[in-house]
Amino acid sequence: MVKENEVLHIAELADIGISSAELGKFTEQFNAILEYFDILDTLEASGPLMRPLVNVFREDEVTPSISQEDALRNSHNPEDGYVRAPRVI
């Protein structure tokens, strides 16, 4: 069983926010879903995980791309060609 304080901790890790009004219900639903996932734990590892894939590489050549102006078009008050973000400390 996952407890309310664990759900709060996960919400903090994910920067998702969760109000005290929602917490009880989210925790209840969370546990019901995890219980449903439990059947996976009965599975024995079926040997190494294989993916029939090959790496896709290309030459490191400059090709047309979107402009700096376009890339910033949806941001708020960009400055000197940079986006603005909240303070980190």
Residues lying near another protein in the complex (CB under 8 A): 2, 7, 10-19, 22, 26, 29-30, 32-34, 36-41, 43, 45-46, 49-50, 56, 58, 66, 70-76, 83-89
Q: Sign of the C-alpha dihedral, residues 10, 16, 19, 21? A: negative
Q: How far is the CB of 5 from another protein (least distance, A)?
A: 13
CA 13 to chain CA mean position, Å? 10
Cα separation, 45 vs 58, whole angstroms = 35
Of 76 and 80, the one with the shorter C-beta distance to another protein is 76
Question: Which H or E run contains 51?
Answer: none
Of 24 and 73, the one with the shorter C-beta distance to another protein is 73
